[in-house]
A = this chain, B = another copy of it.
Amino acid sequence: MITTKGRYALRVMMDLAEHAAESCVPLKEIAERQGISKKYLEIIVKDLVKGGLIKGVGGKGGGYRLVRKPNEYNVGEIIELAEGTLATVACLAQDAEACPRAAACKTLPMWKEADELMRSFYRSKKLTDLL
């Protein structure tokens, strides 16, 4: 299930996209507009910066801004970054240790299929499709 981290990350990105005209949007404004704790958003936004999706500018008049054009983001990369993974089962997560049952596992192909289905679904959705 997609948690608040992924959902809030998406809302932050949408907010930034809607205010892409301004060069910088301070987190305080986003938090107020979206009705989400600024402190909690700091954690989420940090991941977005680290993942290279947005840039943070400190100081007076600073804030965050997108590094690409709004229509050049897809939903998949945003929630995958915020959630860490969007794998259907633990053994398909990026950092998963190899499952000893993998070779004989009758269900693994189905999980892979489901994963591919979801991944391509979210990748096909552009950020601007949501605005």
Contacts and interface: CB of A to CB of B under 8 A. Distances in A.
Contacts of A106: 14, 130-131
Contacts of A89: 1-2, 7
Contacts of A113: 121
Interface of A: 1-2, 7, 10-11, 14, 75, 87-90, 106-107, 110-111, 113-114, 117-118, 121-122, 125, 130-131
A88 B3 CA distance: 9
A75 B118 contact: no
B110 A114 contact: no
Contact of A110 (B75, B87, B107, B117): B75
A11 B107 CA distance: 9
